[in-house]
Amino acid sequence: MERPSWFKRALEFDYSDRYVDCDGAKIHYLLWNDPNGKVDADRPGLVFIHGSGAHAHWWTFIAPFFLTHYRVMAIDLAGAGDSEHLSDYSLESFGAQVMSAVKDAGFDQNTILVGHSFGGFIAIKTALIYGDSLAGIVLADSAVRPPDFEWERDPRRSPIRPRRVYETFEAALGRFRLMPPQDCKNDYLLDYIGRHSLIEVEGGWTWKFDDTMFDNFNMTTDTHKDLTALRCRMAVFYGEDSYLFTQELADYMFSALDKSVSFTSIPEAQHHLFLDQPLAFVSALRTLLAEWRHSRPLRKFR
């Protein structure tokens, strides 16, 4: 399949595989190396957080676009990618993992978190607990629902399907699908992500994610309350055609937040918005971050 030039250039940027211990688990993250061969400690940090069932390499072709102004990392949360699995999980433990990686990388208090899908909920909880150590968060198709939201399916049902073992790498790769399900015309992105999603086990190949994560997930929070209690800047991106981030939910979040929080709809994009429209996503995020660099927060923190 044909890979566009921008994608190939993005993959040419060097990054380091790094590990940090957090609550007894080894957490893996990718830290991009300075393209000029030196580290400017004064540059703020930018952290990309993946969604459920995903991993740090979902951001490998996005992160290099921000190296001019930021030190950049992407984290593998526990139970995902090349990080260790845990016996139980919570938003609080994920937040601790993010901040452990931030500290290990030497990022300062100007750090910004970008979370996709479930990663956005982690960004919210992290900002709620560690807000004084962060400059802002960006939610990418992370729809916060009102307390009376009527679910079409049981919200307690795990969004992660049980893992299967495939005899060959090629057979497993051929079964890679986005979850929640959607089509994506950029096959080269799916191929790249899929290749980083597999691990060899006894009997063949399977997915890296912990398929029992949500069986042992401790959800002791009301995200709609957390959303309005944050002490740092916030912005919301969503796919114009996302069935998880409907206009109804966008309107609810808009009404729950003050007017300093920007909402950006990415045209021709579904839930996995930076796979559907990667360059539009990059452009929108770079524009937002440039505005944040050259302005003072207008938000009155609660």
pLDDT tens readout for residues 222-231? 788 888 888 8
Each residue's pLDDT tens digit, 245-258: 999 999 999 998 98
Domain ranges for the chain: 14-150+222-293
Residues 38-42, mean pLDDT to the nearest whole number: 69
- The per-residue pLDDT for 217 is 81
Mapped to the 3 state alphabet, what secondary structure does the chain carry? CCCCHHHHHHHCCCEEEEEEEECCEEEEEEEECCCCCCCCCCCCEEEEECCCCCCHHHHCCCHHHHCCCCEEEEECCCCCCCCCCCCCEEHHHHHHHHHHHHHHHCCCCCEEEEEECHHHHHHHHHHHHHHHHEEEEEEECCCCCCCCCCCCCCCCCCCCCCCCCECCHHHHHCCCCCCCCCCCCCHHHHHHHHHCCEEEECCEEEECCCCCHHHHEECCCCHHHHHCCCCCEEEEEEECCCCCCCHHHHHHHHHHCCCCCEEEEECCCCCCHHHHCHHHHHHHHHHHHHHHHCCCCCCCCC
Q: CATH code for 14-150+222-293?
A: 3.40.50.1820
pLDDT the model gives residue 93: 95
Query: Could you read off the pLDDT of 145-176 as tens digits, one per residue?
Result: 888 776 554 444 556 678 999 999 999 999 99
Q: What pTM did the predictor assign?
A: 0.94
Average pLDDT of the chain, as a whole number: 91
pLDDT average, residue stretch 77-86? 96
